[in-house]
Every structure is written in C-alpha cells, then in structure tokens.
Amino acid sequence: MLFRSVAPANGQFGTAVVITGTTLFAGGTTIDSVTLASVSVSSIDATQSETRIEVIAAASAATAAADVVMVSDIGTTITGSNFWTYLTPGAVTGVEPSSGLVGTVVEISGSNLQGGGSEVVTVTLGGIGASISSENNTDVVAVAGASPAATGAVDVVLTANSGAVVTGTGAWSYTFSNITSVSPTNGQVGVVVTITGTDLLAGGTSLTSVTLDGTAATVQTESETQVVVVAASSAAGTGDVVLTSNSGAVVTLSNGFTYHAESAITSVTPDQGQLGTLVTVVGTNLLGASASAGAEITTAAIGALSAGIVFSNQTYVVLKLNNGTAGVVDVTLEATSGATTVRSNGFTYTAIGQIDTVTPNNGQIGTSIEIVGARMLGGCAEASSVTLAGEAAFISSSTATKVEIIAVSGAAGTGDVVITSNTGAVVTSINEIGRAHV
C-alpha cells in the first residue's frame, strides 16, 4: 500500500482531489471513507480503483499540512502523512449591483475566489448560469442569465477549475422589469414613441440604447416607468422593443413595434423660388401611415428655414417660402405624430430679386412707370401683381429684368414698390415711389 500523490495538494470546499498509489484498497474491494486533514470528504467517486481514487473536499477552515486517511470496506486504513492542506476558504465580500435581470453586468469581489484553482470557470446567480467576462482571485465580472421571474435573495456561486466552490449567500436577487405598453405601436422615421412599464431602467441609472425592430431610436426622456424615443429610419417590418440599461440589463417586448413603409415626397412644384413663393408638395403618407384623425403637417422647412404651412393632408401640402440663401436644399415635413418626410435636394433657392430703378419714381393716375432690376419674377414666368405704395397698378408687361406698369389710383404718399410673381414670389423696393402725385 503506497501513496504516490494527492493532486492538488491543497484546496477548499468543492476541490476535486485525485489520490494515486498502489494497492489503495488495502486488501478490500472499495474505499468506504476518506478524510482530508481529519475532515470527511463530501463524496467519493464511484469509479475508484486500486491506483486512483477521486474525492471532493468538504468545507473546513485553513490548516497546516495534514494527513489523508482512507478506510477500506474491510476496515483497513491507508494514510498519506502531510499530503493535504486546507486553504483559507474563498469569500464573496461584495456583489455590485446586488439585483438585476438578464444582461446585467455583475461584479463579484472577494478573496481567494479561485479557491486554490487557476481560474473561475462557472458562475451562477440563484442557480442560473451567468457568462464570465473576466476573473481573477479577487474580482469576477459576469453577465446575468435569464430568470423566468423575480426572486428573493439568492446565492452567488463561483466554481473554479479545481472544483472549489465559493458562495456568496443571499448576495443577489433577480428583479422583474416589464414593458406594459408602446404608443403608438407603429410608425416611421420621426414618430415619437412612448414606452410604459415597471423597472424599465432594470437596476441601472440610465439607458444606453433603445431599439425598435432592431433599429436604434433616439432617447428623449427616461425613467423607471416611462421612456420616450424618436424612431429612426427603417424598412417596413415588425420586431421587438428592446431597452438596454447602463447596468447591461435588457428589457424586451416581443414584436412590440411595426415600421410602416416610409412616406415619400414625389414632386415639389415649383422646385425653385424665393421669398413668398407658394410651393406644392405631393407625396404618399405625408402625415404618416395610419395617421390619426386631425393629424396634419405641424412643421415644414425648405433647407434650414421654416416655411409657412397653407394646407396639408396625406398627399398634398402647400407651403409659403421665407427668404433663403441661394442654393439647393432639402424639403422636410413633420406631422403631428412626428413622422418625418424628406426630399433631398428637392428645392433651389434662387438669388433674391432686386429692383434697381423705378422711372419715374412719382406720379399720379395714368402715369406709365418702368421698373428695372434683376430676377424680379423670382424665377417664375410673369408678374401677377404690382403695388405702388400699397395700391395695385396695371401691368403692361413683365420680364425678369423689366416690368412696365400704369398707376391706377392712390392717395398722396410715399411707399414701397412690390412685385408679386405668379408663384407668389415677392420682390420689394422700400419707399421707392414718391408721395407728391400718386
């Protein structure tokens, strides 16, 4: 009967210990009991042999080197002197956060967490496996697995590659976050979506992302009970609403949002102009698919400048332009729901028209007046009206560089010359017409 080795020669609760030697049964047929440093082992592997016996160490305080003692089924005793040492048991001293749900990143701190082994190979939270991100003897980071329900305080259990087990008793609890409603449940780019529920931050302090059918949305506000986001552009489809907390926890509502086919602008008429031009925008679903009763276009922009909204419905919007710097710009419509429709490079601001001379610059009823300038029709075909100090004049002819008119009536006074084109574009010369004889 001879002990050759005990491997490992030290450990703690849970360590798998292999004893090798010769004639280890000592005349018997099995080993009935094994003690390590006078502490009975937790279990003896059934596949024992005369040359190899595997046992699992039970719990014990730290010891100096001590004996391994085996007793056979006939009572014979085999002793390996000073073959085993109990290490100081590993201890969990902190779990942060101490609660969460699937996806929560959990940091476990303590001492001797590897239990005499070289690495921690499994972590469970209340019996549910967690994936290990990093580990060492004093700090283990793991990601919580999914629990079917909230729990009370449950154990955190670390198992090393040696089999050693370190337990944080009652150190963790699973919370339960729940999305109870999404409003609206469908939309397109720009739609404002309100997500309501309980514990939506899932043990964290903020959300790192929200996705609707796999597409990241912009978070406007967030709390434990309500999250408001703006939908980004996405192809039509139905998918999950997923909230990810800064704790790593994930809250999901399956098939919680549907993207409709996006609205589209099919034409802009005219597609060029300046101050005052009336622009007709034609398209599909301009108020957003499934728009509610009373929906309308609430804001419109030609380039960076807002435009006046004259009329709007799902397919037809009329806008009135403000002044803009010459150049090609986008046309953007936003509906009541937030649904946003953009036509890239859909309009060209022409250089603002100018009046250079008004000859004569005073007169009375019947006076023929010649107005000379540049771009006076705002990029359009003809002038629809000309006023002198607020009074309409008769238009004899009009081009972009010369407009000929006849004064019709008007009280004495000084005022502006205003040319309005057939698209609504306006060109003004301030106080250009004289007071004395108009």
Choosing from 86, 113, 140, the residue where a domain stops is: 86
Residue with the two structure tokens 């000084």: 414
Choosing from 238, 259, 280, the residue where a domain stops is: 259
CATH number at residue 231: 2.60.40.10
φ, ψ of residue 242 in degrees (nearest 5): -125, 120
Confidence grade of residue 413 (pLDDT, cut at 50, 70, 90): confident
Closest by alpha carbon to 408, among 429, 433, 425? 433
Confidence grade of residue 142 (pLDDT, cut at 50, 70, 90): very high
pLDDT tens sequence across 346-382? 999 988 889 999 999 888 889 999 999 999 998 788 9
CA–CA dist 310, 181 (Å, integer): 36
Confidence grade of residue 434 (pLDDT, cut at 50, 70, 90): low
435 pLDDT above the threshold of 60: no
Choosing from 349, 369, 395, the residue where a domain stops is: 349
Same domain, 159 and 111: yes
Same domain, 128 and 202: no
CA–CA dist 15, 139 (Å, integer): 20
Residues spanned by the domain of 203: 178-259
CA distances from 208 to 107, 204, 246, 288 (A): 19, 10, 5, 28
Regarding pTM above 0.75, the answer is: no
Q: What's the confidence (pLDDT) of residue 1?
A: 61
Classify residue 35: in a domain, yes or no.
yes
Classify residue 438: in a domain, yes or no.
no
Classify residue 329: in a domain, yes or no.
yes
Same domain, 97 and 57: no
